[in-house]
Amino acid sequence: MVAVFDDFLEANASYIKNFNNVDLELPPKRQVAVVTCMDARLHPAPALGIKLGDSHIIRNAGGRIDEGTIRSLVISQQLLGTKEIVVLHHTDCGMLTFENEDLYQIVKEKLGEDVSDRDFLPIADLEQSVVDDVNFLSGLKVLAPDTPISGAIYDVKTGAVREVTRK
Ligand SMILES: [Zn+2]
């Protein structure tokens, strides 16, 4: 069943009618990478004033720092010239609703697979997860030294972004 994909193709046909951004450079113009959650209620570009071509936006469950995030940030910095990182978590995040053990059990029951060797990086305390992720990033030797790294929380009810920390 790919009902939504068909809708996407139809929507894209409309999108390209007014598409006039063909001359954008590959490196992000504002030299910034945003790490944020995949949550459907958060559209980082309009929320942060990011235009097409401005910024890398790295999204995953929770906006946490995992191997995939680090891989993307190294590429972002070393090959595409970004010089600043923003970590953006958000209120009512799904990552606040479970612990690793819960997901191990669900996957075991539904799929018969043992995923207990994985850390799904659930969040116990929202503010603390932002601080932890910013601190973790600032200690990574594979990121450029003295990279400004900021952490903030987006409120899914109001759209407001509140600063938590900056390094
Ligand atoms: Zn989330």
CA distance 63 to 45: 15
Compute the distance from residue 12 Cα to the ligand 1 centre, in Å. 26
Does residue 66 contact residue 60 with C-beta atoms inside 8 Å?
Answer: yes
- For residue 52, what pLDDT is reported? 96
How is the beta sheet containing 84-90 ordered, strand by strand?
55-60, 32-37, 84-90, 149-154, 161-166
- pLDDT given for residue 160 in this prediction: 98
Distance from residue 61's CA to the centre of ligand 1 (Å) = 6
Residue 2 is assigned to a structural domain of this protein: no
In-domain check, residue 115 = no
Distance (angstroms) between ligand 1 centre and the Cα of 126 equals 10
Tell me how far apart the alpha carbons of residues 145 and 142 are, in angstroms, rounded to a whole number: 9
User: d(Cα 86, Cα 33) in Å, to the nearest integer?
Assistant: 6
List 163's β-bridge partners, or say none. 152
Q: What is the pLDDT of residues 89-110, one digit of tens each?
A: 999 999 999 999 999 999 999 9
Q: CA-CA distance, 47 to 53, in Å (whole number)?
A: 16
* Domains contained in the chain, number: 1
The model's pTM is: 0.96
121 conformational bin, left if phi > 0, alpha if psi -120 to 50, beta if neither: left
d(CA 158, CA 161): 9
The string of pLDDT tens digits covering residues 64-88 is 999 999 999 999 999 999 999 999 9
Please report whether residue 6 resides in a domain.
no
Distances (CA, A) of 155 to 39, 41, 45, 55: 12, 10, 15, 21
pLDDT class of 1 with cuts at 50, 70, 90: low
- Per-residue pLDDT tens over the stretch 107-164: 999 999 999 999 999 999 999 999 999 999 999 999 999 999 999 999 999 999 999 9
pLDDT at 78: 98
Q: Helix or strand or coil: residue 45?
A: helix
Domain that holds residue 52: 27-93+122-166
**CA–centroid distance, residue 43 to ligand 1 (Å):** 12
Containing 35, the helix (H) or strand (E) segment is strand 32-37
Kindly report, residue by residue over 19-68, the tens digit of the pLDDT.
Answer: 988 899 999 999 999 999 999 999 999 999 999 999 999 999 999 999 99
Q: Say if 141 falls within a structural domain.
A: yes
Cα–ligand 1 centroid distance for 18 (angstroms): 31
The CATH number linked to 143 is 3.40.1050.10
Distance in angstroms (rounded) separating the CA atoms of residues 38 and 154: 13
Q: Please check whether residue 80 lies inside any domain of the structure.
A: yes
CA 66 to chain CA centroid, nearest Å: 11
